[in-house]
Amino acid sequence: MNHSVSLPRPAARAQLRGDETHPNLRGEVLFCPYGRGTLIIARAVGLPIPGFLGFHIHTNGSCAAGGDVSFASAGGHYDPHNVPHPWHSGDLPPLLSSGQGAALMQVYTDRFRPEEVVGRSVVIHERPDDFRTQPSGDSGSRLACGVIEAV
Ligand SMILES: [Cu+2]
């Protein structure tokens, strides 16, 4: 019997980049098939604000910069079942940014499989998610975005 606890290989990945005012913000999010859902491993550096920062899967696979709202093209939270926040499939725990602007998180969700979020996006926000306010937890503007691609 195999008792190993080695992690599965990623099936999807997003490379995050900051908006025009946060050019040093970079990150990577891996999506590994795990059980009935997905093991998510997220890393970021260059975060401008220490503390909790909202972190979600958004519907559209577009991280176009420019316009009045950074990364507006990513759309709203990934919500295939049309339910309120924080029951969106794309709702996730916030990242915890250190004073040095780095964050690392590993979290399991059974709200989607990796292949279901390929062609969508990951967004880091400027504020924590309050898990109450509709439709996006009052998490403020979008600091970074990355399109999710199959690997
Ligand atoms: Cu979001």
pLDDT, one tens digit per residue, over 27-67 is 999 999 999 999 999 999 999 999 999 999 999 999 997 67
Residue range 123-147: average pLDDT?
Answer: 96
Distance 1 CA to ligand 1 centre (A): 41
How is 98-144 classified by DSSP, letter by letter?
-TTS-EEEEEEESS--HHHHTTSEEEEESS---SSSTTTTT--SEEE
Single pTM value for the model: 0.94
**Per-residue model confidence (pLDDT) at position 4:** 66
Distance 136 CA to ligand 1 centre (A): 6
pLDDT, one tens digit per residue, over 78-106 is 999 999 999 999 999 999 999 899 999 99
End-to-end CA separation in angstroms for the chain: 29
Distance 92 CA to ligand 1 centre (A): 9
How far apart (Å, rounded) are the C-alpha atoms in residues 148 and 50? 25
pLDDT at 139 over 60: yes
Rg (CA), the chain: 15
3 state SS of 20: coil
